Amino acid sequence: MKTIILAIVLVITSSIAFSQTITESEQSTILRMREDEKLARDVYTALNEKWNQKVFANILESEAYHMSQIKILIDKYKLEDPVAKVNDQPGVFVNPEIQKMYDDFIASGSVSVLAAYKAGAEIEEIDIKELGEAIAATEVKDIKGTYKYLLDASKNHLVAFVRNIERMGVNYEPVVLSKAEFDAVIGSNQ
């Protein structure tokens, strides 16, 4: 009998050691990041359909992949996927703040190709800021690693949008990042 009880205790103990819990803040950040990546994908899809610019086509594919990376975390930590809640309908979000951002970016990006590039750059600035904060707020290795990967991608995307803006003869000024943060991103990716 002691052997059976000891075996049960060992099984329970080992399963607890391998399952990791995350804080409510980490959970809400994962869900926010899932919708942030959907926001980028959906905006770039709509703006690509309107303007047929290669930069949108290239980056929206990356955003779809980034969504799948966050979905891995959602599944692992058994969270309720906000994208599934809306059946992944383009331009539809659970988070009202993200819904407003989508509506605003579609409106501003529909004015001209330049405005569309600026909308893309601002989305990437928002992602860079939020991902930096999310990385600082967690010590969970798989979450931190995923966020670092997404951060590097957002930096590359920002550079791509800024490059396209500058090709139109316009100097892009950061909207969300400080000038120093922006210059660090642009300078490190030149």
pLDDT band at 5 (very low <50, low <70, confident <90, very high): very low
pLDDT for the residue 20: 75
Q: Which long-range contacts (CB under 8 A, 24 or more apart) does 133-139 make?
A: 134/29, 134/33, 137/25, 137/26, 137/29, 138/22, 138/26, 138/29
pLDDT band at 187 (very low <50, low <70, confident <90, very high): confident
Give residue-wise pLDDT tens across range 110-130. Answer: 999 999 999 999 999 999 999
Rounded to two decimals, what is the model's pTM? Answer: 0.88
Give residue-wise pLDDT tens across range 38-68. Answer: 999 999 999 999 999 999 999 999 999 999 9
Per-domain residue ranges of the chain: 24-188
DSSP 177: S
23: helix, strand or coil: coil
On whether the CB atoms of residues 73 and 143 are closer than 8 A, the answer is yes
pLDDT for the residue 9: 39
Give residue-wise pLDDT tens across range 72-107. Answer: 999 999 999 999 999 999 999 999 999 999 999 999
Average pLDDT over residues 157-165: 98
Is 5 exposed, middle or buried, given 0-12, 13-18 or 19+ CB atoms closer than 10 A?
Answer: exposed
Q: How is domain 24-188 classified at the CATH fold level?
A: Ferritin (1.20.1260)
pLDDT at residue 188 greater than cutoff 90: no
